[in-house]
Amino acid sequence: MSAGPARDVAARIAANLATVMQGQTLAIRRLLAAFASGGHVLLEDYPGTGKTTLAKALARSIGATFKRIQFTPDLLPSDILGVSIYDQRDQTFRFYEGPIFTNVLLADEINRASPRTQSALLEAMGEGQVTVDGTSYRLHDPFFVIATQNPVEFRGTYPLPEAQMDRFALQFGLGYVEPQEEVAILTAQERHHPLEDLGPVASVDDVARLRAAVRDVRVSDELRRYVVDVVRATRTAPGVQLGASPRASLALMAGAQALALLDGQAFVGPEHVQEIAGPVIAHRLAVDPQARFAGLTGVAVVEEIVKTVPVPA
Amino acid sequence: MTPPGLLGAALLFWGWQTGFLAVGVVMAALVEGRHLVRSRWDLSRTDFNRVSDLSAVLLVLIAIYQFVGTDAARAVLAILEWLPLTVLPLVTCQLYSTAGVVDLSIFFWSLRRRANEHPEEPGWPIDLTYPYVALALLSASAANVRTGAFFAGVVALAGWALWSARPRRYPAAVWIATLAVAVALGWAGHVGIAAAQRAMERVAQSWLLNLIRRDTDPFKSSTALGEIGEVKLSPRILLRVESANGTRPPALLREASYNVYNAPTWYAVDAAFISVSPEADGATWKLGPPVPERGRVTVAAYLRRGKGVLPAPSGARQLDNLLVVELAKNPLGSVRVDEGLGLVRYAAHFGDGTADGPPRTLDLVVPRNEQAAVERAAAQLGLAGKTPEQAVIAVRAWFSSHFRYARFLGARPQGVSPLEDFFFRTRAGHCEYFATGTVLLLRAAGIPARYAIGYAVHEWSPLEGRWVVRANDAHAWTLAWVGGAWREIDTTPGEWISAERETASFWTPLGDLWSWATYLFSRWRWSEREDRLAGSIGWLLVPLIALLAWRLYRRRRVATGAARGAAATAPPPRPGDDSAFYLVERRLAQLAFPRAPGESLVRWLARVESARPPAVTTAALPALLALHYRYRFDPAGLGAAELTELDTGAREWVAAHDMGGPDMAPQAHQARGATPPSDSPGQRS
């Protein structure tokens, strides 16, 4: 698929999502950027802002399977991956697939599960396959994880360590919508949820072609260098304990390519890098405890870097 | 990293407090120059290790220099004072390096080895600037000027450092108030501690006052008379004596003389010191009325803490080349330096007789408890009725024919004074016995006499080519008033010298060699005034600094900018660098829309459009920018027609905005002139 039809696919999905997610154009754009570039998304926002709806709507839009796992402290890795059970009739072990065998997976409140369970999911995200009892099983394609975290509640949670945060291509929040849009949401859901009306606008094959088209978006050497400069700058930024990894550079470039495709552009512009830099990099930074206490956040660090690193023009 | 200026200010403060202001100014200029010099050195870990070693060598050199020249307590303080200079190479390298930090491993061999074995492990990067400020303050405190200025300076510098790191959550007023409370507590605390220390010192002083005695005391000389066992003295070289044109120097150099004996101690009574004023050159000191000069001898002696009694021939009337600040003499012929350097080297001019005060009744007193023994001996010698000259000869003959020199003395019978035992039973003793005995016998014969101590000069050192005097050459003898002048009478048998020689150990030559080296170094060290010392240390550093500079110069220097980390390697090629759109950008920058370094062209243009400048039409710009972006960032590039479109479009726009006013026209020309590639837009690299 060339850039034109691929862009149409993305536009159709975006329009479809917009019917159920009023006033969330930016979040939809970011979600699609991650989806099209093959990365996973961590949503960090308050309860009731539409995280689940967004994930469900995406799954419906592409006619893909959708599963949701509510993470709890007693959740076990086998609850996610699946389990082998001895079949007395066949006298063999039979593998029962867990909820991870799906196209779109919503990992709700991922920080409530124990680190062991978290890492089971995150490894699957990184490898695209799971191994149970020595046998590897490929996950479905496309496989897209939307994990959510509640930023206010910390009691009984296991915050994701930096290494695991690194596995998410993007992290962003949805935020509260404008009052008139919230009224529109009320109106739309008066009789039934608009999600129920949502039909597929693209096929799973379309998604595969969309992803291939993203990889075809051209990037100049100069902008590749700019991507690296921005990511490298996080490693020496004041108040940052641990800067972003080369994986962040990869995610930043792929995200910028996806944004360029969404904009109908065959090549990446510097704005695309700047636009996606915050969601791609900020969550990977370990901010110095003292600096964090003084009010410094990863987002502020990235914003400052984007402002100071000379952008190609 | 410290805020700009703090490091320099701390060094200036250090220079001011320690009195090395010139050095401090140079050091401050060096560390603050980093804000002016844009280039940085790309230093490896090995380079930092070398610089660290250099600092260590510097520290060792300064330590040797100080310990050889002065006593330990002063040396430690001086080393502390000089510490900022020692660490300066390291700090400078940190400031001028691309890394901007140093690794902890440069200070420890173990960490260096570990870093060599596991180069992939991250190090322990540390910033030396804050510790360096603290070090400068600590070193400034070693100068111990004891004025309020030090406290004020420390508070100001510490406040400066803390201000830049203050928590922003609190208002500045709260922070200032907290600091003020801390300062007040600090002031009250240190004043209180000082008061407590003074009180404790007063108490301790009264206990310790009588316990410690050292050096030659011009008022009192405790002898070893009556002590049992061997008298031992070290063979350490104390004095170096040179006589004019190779003549033999006087055999005795006197340090002090005493007039009252109260066994076993000699006292100088009624012998207050009066200070001597130097001649116009500040180095010549007259000790008495001039007499015909009989000779001149040059003596080099160490002073402890710049104080001490100077040995000189008894007849010395004038001391030359003596670089001291305060000199005093007493009527018994002692010359005391109250303030001077660690080593003095002076020429003593001497004539006949001495400059000592004339005899008094004290010089004839024989103490009551020795009276019986002395009178018995005097009677035995038949001193009564002899002339002073005859009496001296008789005493000298008696001692030389009936007595022998001995350093080892056994126990004596109960109720017998040491002197009586010496006179009649043992007839053996060391110089103190002979000198004391002679004084008292002569007094009994009605001749005024005094007890003198000092050194005997008898050893020629072939190694050094001069006369040397060791600690075991310390000697005691007698001064007798004969023929209207004080004469030196030494009744100790001459064999004492060879007896002392026998005590020389196998290692003495080695010790002499070391002593000579120390002396040469001390001479160099003390040859000039204290204020020139900074200069001589500086000369010591020149080769080291030159070596460092040479090594650094050979390093590749790299440019720095806003993104120093990004500039570590060559910049990537910039295709489309000749785009005519830059003319538009320059023109708009002149119209008060400069683009920030982190602002992309699209955002910048959006800002320009949202401002709706009256004299600017932006309608054509988005299309031009789209072409420019393709030209710059699309690896596929632009076709020839599109390139022409971009070029003409941009030039037309610039031309259209060239008529903004008479003051803008030249700027526009300037802008065009500043874009050399714009004349040939079709050529792409």
Contact A308 B599 (CB under 8 A): no
Q: Where are the beta strands (DSSP E) in B385-538?
A: 404-405, 408-409, 428-429, 449-456, 459-461, 466-470, 474-482, 485-489
> Using the beta-carbon criterion (under 8 Å), do A295 and B563 form an inter-chain contact?
no
* A181 and A248 both lie in a single domain: no
Mean pLDDT of B262-270: 84
Same domain as A269, residue A171: no
DSSP state letter for A113? S
Domain count, chain B: 4
A32-41, A72-81, B521-530, B615-624: the lowest-pLDDT one: B521-530
Residues A48 and A140 in one domain: yes
Chain A residue with the nearest C-alpha to that of B1:
A238
Residue B312 β-bridge partners: B254
* B17 has a pLDDT exceeding 80: yes
Q: Are residues A249 and A202 in the same domain?
A: no
> Which pTM was predicted?
0.47
Whether B249 is covered by a domain: the verdict is yes
pLDDT at residue A218 above 80? yes
Q: Does one domain contain both B152 and B197?
A: no
Q: Is residue B567 part of a domain?
A: no
Residues A113 and A75 occupy one common structural domain: yes
Report helix, strand or coil for B15: helix
Say if strands B404-405 and B220-222 run parallel, antiparallel, or are unpaired: unpaired
Cβ–Cβ of B565/A220 closer than 8 Å?
A: no
Residues B182 and B156 in one domain: no
User: Does residue B449 lie in a domain region?
Assistant: yes
Q: Which residues of A touch B571 (CB under 8 A)?
A: 225
Q: What is the pLDDT of residues B41-86, one digit of tens each?
A: 888 888 888 888 888 888 888 888 877 766 677 788 888 888 999 8
**Over A264-301, what HEC string results?**
CCCECCHHHHHHHHHHHHHHHCEECHHHHHCCCCHHHH
CB contact, 8 Å: A188 with chain B?
A: no
Dump pLDDT digits (tens) for B552-593. 666 555 444 444 444 445 666 778 888 889 988 888 887 778
How many CB pairs below 8 A link A and B? 90
Residues A92, A151, single domain; the answer is yes
Residues of B in Cβ contact (< 8 Å) with A271: 600, 602-603
Contacts of B630 in chain A (CB under 8 A): 267
- Do B598 and A235 make contact, defined as CB atoms within 8 angstroms? no
Residues of chain B found within 8 Å of residue A235, distances taken between Cβ atoms: 565
- Which residue from B585, B602, B633 is facing A268, i.e. has the nearest CB? B633
Where residue A224 falls among pLDDT bands split at 50, 70, 90?
very high
CA distance B207 to chain A (A): 53
Question: Same structural domain for residues B235 and B301?
Answer: yes
Q: How far apart are alpha carbons A252 and A258 in whole angstroms?
A: 10
pLDDT surpasses 80 at B356: yes
Judgement on whether residues B104 and B60 belong to the same structural domain of the protein: yes
| pLDDT band at B452; cut points 50, 70, 90 | very high
Q: Is A288 on the interface with B (CB under 8 A)?
A: no
Q: A297-310, pLDDT tens digit by residue?
A: 889 999 999 999 99
Interatomic CA distance for residues A55 and A61, integer angstroms: 10
In a domain, B516, yes or no: yes
Closest CA to A258 of A56, A59, A6: A6
Domain shared by B285 and B317, yes or no: yes
Total length of chain A: 313
Domain count, chain A: 2
For chain B, give the mean pLDDT: 81
Average pLDDT over residues B665-669: 38
Q: How many Å apart are CA B596 and CA B619, to the nearest integer?
A: 22
pLDDT of B187-232, one tens digit each?
898 888 888 888 888 778 767 755 554 456 666 777 766 666 666 6
Lowest mean pLDDT among A174-178, A243-247, B630-634: A174-178
Q: Are residues B484 and B633 in the same domain?
A: no
Residue B262 lies in a domain: yes
* Whole-number pLDDT of residue B303: 82
- Whether A56 and A157 map to the same domain: the answer is yes
Interatomic CA distance for residues B83 and B684, integer angstroms: 58
Q: DSSP assignment, residue B104?
A: G
Residue A152: domain span = 1-216
The neighbour count for residue B254, using CB atoms within 10 Å, is 28
B206-237 in b/e burial notation, b at 16+ Cβ within 10 A?
Answer: eeeeeeeeeebbbbbbebbbbeeeebeeebeb
Q: Which of B633, B638, B642, B685 best tests the A interface by mutation, with the highest count of A CBs <10 A?
A: B633
Q: How close is the nearest chain A Cα to the Cα of B602, in Å?
A: 7
CB contact under 8 A, B635 and A219: yes
- Say if residue A20's pLDDT is above 90: no
Q: Answer yes or no: is pLDDT of B532 > 80.
A: no
Asked if pLDDT for residue B610 goes beyond 70, the answer is yes
Encode burial over A226-240: b for 16+ CB neighbours within 10 A, e otherwise.
bbbbbbbbbebbebb
d(CA A50, CA A281): 23
Say yes or no: A300 contacts chain B, CB-CB below 8 A: no
| 3-state SS, residue B332 | coil
| Among A216, A250, A267, residue at a domain's last position | A216
In chain B, pLDDT over 90 holds for what percent of residues? 14
Degrees, nearest 5: CA angle A67-A70-A71: 125
In degrees, rounded to 5, the angle at the alpha carbon of residue B265 between the alpha carbons of residues B262 and B270 is 75
pLDDT value, residue A49: 83
Do A288 and A235 share a structural domain? yes
Q: Does B563 contact A312 at a Cβ distance shorter than 8 Å?
A: no
Summarised one tens digit per residue, pLDDT across range A273-290 is: 999 999 999 999 988 888
Contact B311, B301 (CB under 8 A): yes
Range of the domain at B638: 581-679
Percent of chain A whose predicted confidence (pLDDT) is above 70:
98
CA distance B568 to B552: 17
Considering the domain architecture, whether residues B275 and B294 belong to the same structural domain is answered as: yes
Q: Which amino acid is at B2?
A: T
Q: Are residues A148 and A249 in the same domain?
A: no
- Whichever domain contains A67, its CATH number is 3.40.50.300
Chain A nearest-CA residue for B99 = A236
**Between B170 and B420, where is the model more confident?**
B420
Residues contacting B471, CB < 8 A, separation 6+: B233, B234, B235, B236, B238
Point out the domain boundary residue: A216, A237, A267: A216
The answer as to whether B568 is a domain residue is no
Residue numbers in B near A313 (CB within 8 A): 585, 595, 600-601, 604, 632
**Cα separation, A295 vs A302, whole angstroms:** 14
* Angle, alpha carbons B316-B241-B306 (nearest 5°): 75
B350 burial class (0-12, 13-18, 19+ CB within 10 angstroms)? buried
